[in-house]
Amino acid sequence: MASTVQVQLLVTPILCVSRRCLASSDTISASSAVSGGRTVVSRGGSFQLGFFRINASSSSSSSRNGSCYYVGIWYKKAVSPCTPVWIANRAAPVADRATSRLAIAADGNLVLINEADELVWSTNVSSAAAAAAGAGSNGTVAVILDTGNLVLRRKNDVDEVVLWQSMDHPTDTWLPGARLGLNKVTGEAQVLTTWKNSGDPAPGVFSLGIDPAGTSQYFIVWNRTVPYWASGEWNGDIFAGIPEMTSHYMYNFEFVSDANGSYFTYSLQDPAIISRLVVGVSGQVTQLTWAPSADEWILIWTEPHRLCDVHAVCGAFAVCDEKSEPLCSCLAGFRAASPGDWDLGDYTKGCRRNTPLQCASTSMVTGDKDEDDFLLIAAEESIVCTGIRRSRLQTDEAAGAANLYLRLSAMGVPSKSSKKTIALACAGAAAALILALFVAMAFVLVRMLRRRRSMRFAQALERGNLVAFRYSDVRRATKNFSENLGGGSFGSVYKGKLPGAGGADAAVTADVYSFGMVLLEIVSGRRNARCSSASEYFPLVAARKVLDGEVAGLLDERLDGEADMEELDRACRVACWCVQDEEANRPTMEQVVQALEGVIAVDVPPVPVSLKVFADDASSYFSDECSQLKSSS
Based on the domain organization, do 154 and 189 belong to the same domain? no
Based on the domain organization, do 162 and 232 belong to the same domain? no
pLDDT by residue (tens digit) across 534-565?
A: 457 888 889 999 998 888 889 988 888 888 99
Q: What is the mean pLDDT of residues 447-455?
A: 79
Query: Residue 1 carries which DSSP code?
Result: -
Q: Is the pLDDT of residue 529 over 70?
A: no
Query: Is pLDDT larger for residue 480 or for residue 224?
Result: 224
Residue 254 burial (CB count, 10 A): 11
Among 124, 149, 169, the domain boundary falls at 169
Residue 22 three-state SS: coil
Q: Is the pLDDT of residue 612 over 90?
A: no
Total domains present in the chain: 4
Q: What is the mean pLDDT of residues 307-313?
A: 91
pLDDT by residue (tens digit) across 386-415?
A: 444 433 333 344 444 556 666 666 555 555
Query: Does some domain include residue 232?
Result: yes
d(CA 178, CA 271): 15
Based on the domain organization, do 233 and 155 belong to the same domain? no
Query: Does some domain include residue 423?
Result: no
Q: What is the mean pLDDT of residues 283-297?
A: 93
Give me the percent of the chain exceeding a pLDDT of 90: 38
Whole-number pLDDT of residue 363: 46
Q: Please say whether the beta carbons of 142 and 27 come within 8 A.
A: yes
Query: Does some domain include residue 344?
Result: no
- Quick one: CA dihedral 393, 394, 396, 400, positive or negative? negative
Q: Is the pLDDT of residue 368 over 70?
A: no
β-pair partners for 239: 234
pLDDT by residue (tens digit) across 409-419?
A: 655 555 556 66
Q: Please say whether the beta carbons of 146 and 166 come within 8 A.
A: no
Based on the domain organization, do 3 and 110 belong to the same domain? yes
Residue 197 three-state SS: strand
Whole-number pLDDT of residue 389: 43
pLDDT by residue (tens digit) across 105-134?
A: 999 999 999 999 999 999 999 765 555 555
Phi, psi of 385 (to 5 degrees): -70, -15
Query: Does some domain include residue 375?
Result: yes
pLDDT by residue (tens digit) across 133-188?
A: 555 556 899 999 999 999 999 987 677 899 999 999 999 999 999 999 998 888 88
Among 139, 169, 199, the domain boundary falls at 169
pLDDT band at 464 (very low <50, low <70, confident <90, very high): low
pLDDT by residue (tens digit) across 183-237?
A: 888 888 999 999 999 999 999 999 999 998 889 999 999 999 999 999 999 988 8
CATH number at residue 550: 1.10.510.10
Find how far residue 338's CA is from the centre of its chain: 22
Structural domain harbouring 203 = 171-313
Based on the domain organization, do 155 and 30 belong to the same domain? yes
Based on the domain organization, do 179 and 297 belong to the same domain? yes
Q: What is the 3-state secondary structure (H, E, C) of 469-484?
A: CCHHHHHHHCCCCCCE
Query: Does some domain include residue 481?
Result: no
Query: Is pLDDT larger for residue 544 or for residue 474?
Result: 544
Based on the domain organization, do 538 and 613 belong to the same domain? yes
Contacts of 536 (CB under 8 A, 6+ apart): 615, 619, 622
AA identity, residue 252: N
CATH number at residue 180: 2.90.10
AA identity, residue 613: V
Based on the domain organization, do 21 and 155 belong to the same domain? yes
Residue 619 three-state SS: helix
Whole-number pLDDT of residue 375: 52
Query: Does some domain include residue 55?
Result: yes
Based on the domain organization, do 99 and 180 belong to the same domain? no
Average pLDDT over all residues of the chain: 79
Q: Is the pLDDT of residue 72 over 80?
A: yes
d(CA 249, CA 329): 40
Query: Does some domain include residue 280?
Result: yes
**For the whole model, what pTM was predicted?**
0.58
Query: Does some domain include residue 476?
Result: no
Based on the domain organization, do 149 and 212 belong to the same domain? no
CATH number at residue 3: 2.90.10.10
pLDDT band at 484 (very low <50, low <70, confident <90, very high): confident
Q: Please say whether the beta carbons of 217 and 282 come within 8 A.
A: no
Based on the domain organization, do 27 and 48 belong to the same domain? yes
Whole-number pLDDT of residue 409: 62
Among 348, 381, 416, the domain boundary falls at 416
Based on the domain organization, do 16 and 153 belong to the same domain? yes
Q: What is the mean pLDDT of residues 312-332?
A: 89
Whole-number pLDDT of residue 59: 41
pLDDT by residue (tens digit) across 61-71?
A: 444 556 799 99
